[in-house]
A = this chain, B = another copy of it.
Amino acid sequence: MIDIVKISQALSDPIRHKILLMLLNHKECTSPRCPTDLVGVCNCEIMEQFGMIQSRVSYHMKELAESGLVTEIPQGKWKYYDLNKEALREYIKELGVIFQL
């Protein structure tokens, strides 16, 4: 079941909002370090894209994952993220239902 307040909270931070958009439009990670041919965006990309340190990225990705907006895909040492469009769809659907739109 969807938690409207929690998802709203996750969406209410400008950086998380940008990260979600990045996940949406992601291309394969070009870093030679990362395994290629994987779905999702890796932490290193997010760090580079926004000039954020690792623990900060980790914190925000955890928030997003706990809200359900993002799916975590651990790959050995690495961790990838995928936008959970279905959660977003349920969120807007639920808003429509409870506010009778």
**Which of A's residues lie within 8 Å of B, judged by CB?**
4-5, 8-9, 11-14, 17, 20-21, 24, 83, 85, 88-89, 91-92, 95-96, 98-101
With known contacts A5-B11, A11-B4, A95–B101 Cβ distance under 8 A: no
A89 to B: closest C-beta gap in Å = 5
Contact of A99 among B5, B13, B24, B96 (CB under 8 A): B24
- Is there an interface contact between A92 and B101, defined as CB atoms closer than 8 Å? yes
In the bound assembly, the distance between CA atoms of A91 and B88 in angstroms comes to: 12
Q: Which residues of B contact A88 (CB under 8 A)?
A: 95, 99, 101
The 3 nearest A-B residue pairs measured at CB: A8-B11, A9-B12, A8-B12
Whether B24 lies near A14 (C-beta < 8 A) is no
